[in-house]
Structure 1
Amino acid sequence: MAIMQKVEWDGKQFHGFVDIGTNYCNEDDYLPEARNVLVLMLVALNSNWKIPVGYFLISSLDAQQRSNLIQHCLKLCHESNVKIYSLTFDGAAVNIAMCTELGACFKYGQTFKP
């Protein structure tokens, strides 16, 4: 999801740069401004609730990096006895590649009709 690029100083630290939760900060390193946010959300199948379980301020992530974050989230959900039945995402090429990294196969036969 696209976000407005803006860096702010709160008196202690800057906010608005890429942050994927590693708490790594080195003054010699350059962090780009975040342009997007990747949100991981759990949604009930048979009830009316949604819970964001993680968000990552990103500039961009490749399929491997996204699949690593999804795998980590799935592992934490499994450890909490949460059952995941599906993943939902838009049809961006990086998301399709992410699913391939996770083991999905999108090769359909000639007779497949949605």
Structure 2
Amino acid sequence: MHEFGIAEAILSAVEQRAAGRRVRQARVRAGALLRITEPAINQAFAMVAEGSPAEGARVDLVIVPARLTCRSCGQTTTSHDPFVTCPGCGGADIDTEGGDDLILESIEMAEATHVPGNSRRDRGNPE
């Protein structure tokens, strides 16, 4: 399963951004050429995240289509399936652009149960 390598890359980016804080969810944009699904990536992520601040976190996956350009007729389109034929002429000689991105868009932190300090005067970390 190639999802494990992708899940490890997501976990690395999540841990770097979270800086040791507990993570509840990660939103990831993945290109269609990566051929991953949300259930598969969540299963792989659950395994690789064990014992990390992201243990139990869920991956919200947004699939980004690839851009396809037909060499025969020049028509350009986008598709979640990079193995399609040209919708204009039916040709199979197609250039594919993009669709292999993997971008961590955001992470959602778990709520803290206790924050030390005076909440009325605490302005966060001054650094």
TM range (shorter): under 0.3
TM-score normalised to the size of structure 2? 0.22
TM-score normalised to the size of structure 1? 0.24
Q: Between the two structures, name the one with larger relative contact order (CA 8 Å, sep ≥ 6).
A: 2
Q: Between Structure 1 and Structure 2, which shows a larger proportion of strand residues?
A: 2
Question: Which one has a bigger Cα radius of gyration?
Answer: 2
